[in-house]
């Protein structure tokens, strides 16, 4: 039996239009009056109006609010306020928890977000400088110390890739984030990789999460100049993440530090991170040799670069689902760079297969096929000759789209191939050949 009009109590999720990275979860006995009070607050511009994302009726709003605080304490911006971090995945978790609560009566409103709106929200989940508690002076000092290849992955790009895989691959596993994946008590000084796995620790049923902080003096996450190892176990209920850190003597926090290598070889099951592009070759050598499962970001040109080609040829690594074109630089500004996900987890039903045009050679348009000075066939636009038995050269895009999973292999001689036409060098490619049955 529903409560009377006088006794009705509500839980709501409200959000400011210009602050999509957070929301407020509150209680009220008058939804209309509460929303009006938000939009009448002194100093709030018309452009930053508030709107409800979700509302529902409950039996005991104070009890539900208390339980929400306990359940999602790690996602609160400040401990003394009911402001929570927000993205589409977290919003779904909040709503599911409320609807499954024994005090829930009925849903009144939920904002239906169309795909375009989701994209807009996701791209703004990166905290502002003010939200991160960082001053412009801090940023300038950090940027002066940074190398040109210091790019930081956005949360939304990590979420987008990981959600493509069966979540059972993470169950009872130790995940190791070993490239300056700092952890703070809030997301303003935490790497996006650490944030993702901390947010989804229980949902993925992880056994352990280990993250390392690179203490080289750069201190991009404002975690101090000493390297540390952060470890969260599945049975841990410690709220203060500082208590989960250890600072080994002389530990640098680098992926090739002896302590990091020991964790990699003896504790880790899955490695997930964005290694520095300038040290990518060393990182790949160590990672592949460890024989651990991994999901990492690296340069999009790796499939046609000599140092990495043997890994693709020997089926030790293949492309993940997505490219990553946007990163954050040391100034926490959006910057573009050509990255891609790589993994040794099986990629099922690769969406990009459809980009491959595997047809007889004579049906490939003339403008997309030609022969170089060595009479090697070059094909472009992901055209692949289905009846050609000799080696031919393709771009990295064909490898990223999965041609090596369609009956073709990289050949041994001259794996990194730079074609010449009329004596002029063209773009770097890789030689592949159809596998004879």
Residue 185 CB-half CA count within 13 A:
9
Q: How far apart are CA 303 and CA 387, in angstroms?
A: 24
Extended strands (E) in 234-313: 245-246, 270-273, 293-299
Q: What number of other Cβ atoms are within 10 A of residue 231's Cβ? A: 17
Give pTM, 2 decimals: 0.66
Asked if residue 158 belongs to a domain, the reply is: yes
Whether residue 383 is found in the same domain as residue 276:
no
Asked if residue 129 belongs to a domain, the reply is: no
Asked if residue 138 belongs to a domain, the reply is: no
Structural domain boundaries enclosing 396: 353-434
Classify strands 293-299 and 357-359 as parallel, antiparallel or unpaired: unpaired
Whether residue 312 is found in the same domain as residue 201:
yes
The string of pLDDT tens digits covering residues 394-421 is: 999 999 999 999 999 998 755 678 888 8
Whether residue 119 is found in the same domain as residue 183:
no
| Tens of pLDDT, residue by residue, the chain (437 residues) | 444 456 799 999 998 887 777 899 999 999 989 988 888 764 455 667 889 999 999 999 999 999 999 888 777 777 778 888 877 767 888 898 999 899 999 999 887 543 333 323 233 344 444 444 444 444 334 433 434 445 678 888 999 999 999 999 999 999 999 987 778 766 667 888 988 998 899 999 999 999 998 876 555 555 556 888 999 998 766 667 788 889 999 898 899 999 999 999 999 999 999 998 788 999 999 999 999 999 999 999 999 998 999 999 999 999 999 999 887 766 666 777 788 999 999 898 889 999 999 999 999 999 999 999 999 999 999 999 999 999 999 999 999 999 999 999 998 755 678 888 888 888 889 999 999 87
Q: How far apart are CA 25 and CA 92, in angstroms?
A: 13
Whether residue 156 is found in the same domain as residue 96:
no
Whether residue 165 is found in the same domain as residue 62:
no
Asked if residue 134 belongs to a domain, the reply is: no
Instruction: Annotate 196-222 with b (16+ C-beta within 10 A) or e (fewer).
Output: bbbbbbeebebbbbbbbbbbeebbbbe
Q: How far apart are CA 31 and CA 42, in angstroms?
A: 20
Whether residue 256 is found in the same domain as residue 324:
yes
Whether residue 253 is found in the same domain as residue 337:
yes
Q: How many domains does the chain have?
A: 3
Tell which phi-psi region holds residue 150, choosing left (phi > 0), alpha (psi between -120 and 50) or beta.
beta
Q: How far apart are CA 381 and CA 367, in angstroms?
A: 10
Whether residue 83 is found in the same domain as residue 214:
no
> Per this entry, what is the length of the chain?
437
Asked if residue 145 belongs to a domain, the reply is: no
Q: How far apart are CA 258 and CA 256, in angstroms?
A: 6
CB 98 within 8 A of CB 104: yes
CB 398 within 8 A of CB 409: no
The string of pLDDT tens digits covering residues 59-104 is: 999 999 999 998 887 777 777 788 888 777 678 888 989 998 999 9
């Amino acid at each position: 039996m529903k409560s009377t009009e006088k006794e009705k109590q509500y839980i709501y999720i409200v959000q400011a239009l210009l602050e999509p990275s957070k929301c407020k979860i509150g209680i009220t006995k008058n939804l209309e009056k509460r929303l009006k009070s938000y939009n009448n607050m002194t100093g709030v511009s018309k452009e930053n109006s508030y709107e409800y994302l979700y509302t529902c009726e409950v039996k005991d709003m104070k009890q539900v609010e208390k339980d929400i605080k306990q359940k999602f304490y790690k996602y609160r911006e400040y401990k003394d306020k009911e402001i929570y971090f927000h993205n589409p995945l977290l919003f779904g978790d909040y709503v599911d928890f409320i609807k499954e609560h024994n005090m829930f009566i009925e849903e009144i409103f939920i904002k239906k977000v169309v795909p375009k709106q989701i994209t807009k929200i996701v791209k703004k989940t990166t905290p502002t400088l003010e939200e991160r508690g960082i001053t412009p002076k801090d940023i300038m000092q950090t940027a002066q110390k940074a190398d040109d290849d210091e790019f930081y992955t956005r949360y939304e790009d990590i979420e987008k890739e990981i959600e493509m895989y069966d979540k059972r691959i993470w169950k009872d596993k130790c995940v190791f984030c070993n490239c300056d994946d700092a952890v703070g008590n809030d997301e303003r000084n935490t790497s996006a990789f650490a944030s993702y796995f901390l947010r989804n620790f229980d949902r993925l049923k992880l056994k352990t999460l280990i993250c390392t902080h690179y203490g080289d003096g750069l201190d991009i996450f404002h975690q101090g100049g000493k390297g540390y190892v952060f470890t969260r176990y599945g049975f841990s209920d410690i709220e203060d993440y500082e208590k989960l850190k250890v600072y080994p003597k002389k530990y640098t926090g680098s992926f090739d530090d002896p302590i990091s290598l020991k964790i990699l070889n003896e504790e880790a099951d899955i490695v997930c991170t964005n290694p520095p592009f300038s040290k990518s070759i060393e990182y790949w050598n160590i990672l592949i040799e460890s024989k651990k499962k991994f999901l990492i970001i690296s340069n999009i040109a790796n499939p046609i670069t000599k140092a990495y080609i043997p890994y693709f040829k020997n089926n030790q690594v293949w492309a993940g689902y997505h490219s990553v074109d946007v990163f954050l630089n040391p100034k926490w500004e959006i910057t573009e760079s050509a990255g891609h996900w790589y993994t040794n987890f099986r990629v099922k039903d690769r969406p990009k297969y459809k980009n491959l045009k595997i047809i007889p050679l004579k049906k490939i348009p003339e403008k997309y096929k030609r022969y170089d000075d060595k009479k090697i066939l070059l094909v472009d636009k992901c055209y692949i000759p289905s009846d050609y038995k000799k080696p031919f050269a393709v771009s990295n895009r064909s490898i990223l789209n999965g041609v090596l999973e369609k009956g073709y292999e990289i050949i041994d001689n001259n794996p990194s191939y730079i074609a010449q036409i009329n004596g002029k060098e063209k773009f770097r490619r890789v030689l592949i050949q159809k596998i004879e049955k």
